[in-house]
Structure 1
């Protein structure tokens, strides 16, 4: 399912579209991540929304998906950084580090299955690409925040 989604997205993207660094203000995503209050998740997707208004094709299905994927890429970098930080924090507790790895692998399977469902719900319609891209963005951002918050406890 998710493989079909990724292939569909790749076929829709114009060449060079993967150079997403200039599409999203990564500092805005980092600022969203840095918020420590419980409502910090409210800013997830804001950079993608801004992208849609500033990119030439931002209001098209492909443009909306590209913007969501560009913000997702920033959150994915943050997630990987936070995972590494947490793994390092558990370095003196190998059993806990192993459990973290197991939990992360299970989370990836859940995210992919959930976003595959979001994709498949639209039965071939163009909205499926947008739904799956935003699903992956939301899951990844929330997991990054969860990993950050685990380091405090």
Structure 2
């Protein structure tokens, strides 16, 4: 999972997430991410808790770019696991409806392209500054979380 996220990150504008993670390997409390997902209403998407696990993971006394990225990548991995579970459940729910699971696959591929383009833009905006990796990493996390919540919402109808 972490390798796939690192590969995605490197593919987006050449960001160096993969080289940063081992220096300060951080863990997030995945229960915080799960609670964020579980308490989100099916009819709407609440984003207040996205990023909370990463913020709590960071060293409050001495935050560093590497530490922030490591925590953001860890939370993104937790959201990615939820997204994959929700995507499968959503496809399974619509499997009996001709063509609908294929339409969802097409939509998911388009979402991936949108996420990648948005996060490349977030990275490129900072033109060489250290903030570019933080912005792109947060973009990946937020897009992944929002998509997981959107899939949850789809299954509610």
- CA shift, 1:36, in A, is 3.1
In structure 1, the residue matched to 2:134 is: 130
Q: What is the TM-score when the length of structure 1 is the normalising length?
A: 0.88
* Structure 2: tracts of 5 or more residues without a match: 1-10
The answer on 1:40 being equivalent to 2:40 is: no
Q: What is the TM-score when the length of structure 2 is the normalising length?
A: 0.86
Instruction: After TM superposition, list the pairs within 5 Å mapping 1:24-103 onto structure 2.
Output: 24-37=28-41, 38=44, 40-53=46-59, 59-103=63-107
- CA shift, 1:42, in A, is 0.6
Q: 1:150 and 1:115 mapped to 2: Cα distance?
A: 24
Aligned with 2:21 (options 13, 16, 37): 13
Q: CA 1:16 to 1:129, structure 2 compared with 1: closer, same or farther past 3 Å?
A: closer
The answer on 1:4 being equivalent to 2:3 is: no
Q: 1:42 and 1:16 mapped to 2: Cα distance?
A: 26
2:24, 2:70 within 8 Å by CA — same for their partners in 1?
no
The answer on 1:115 being equivalent to 2:119 is: yes
CA RMSD between the two structures? 1.8
Q: 1:98 and 1:125 mapped to 2: Cα distance?
A: 41
Q: 1:13 and 1:46 mapped to 2: Cα distance?
A: 19
- CA shift, 1:91, in A, is 1.1
Task: State the SS of the aligned residue for 1:124.
Answer: coil
* Structure 1: tracts of 5 or more residues without a match: none
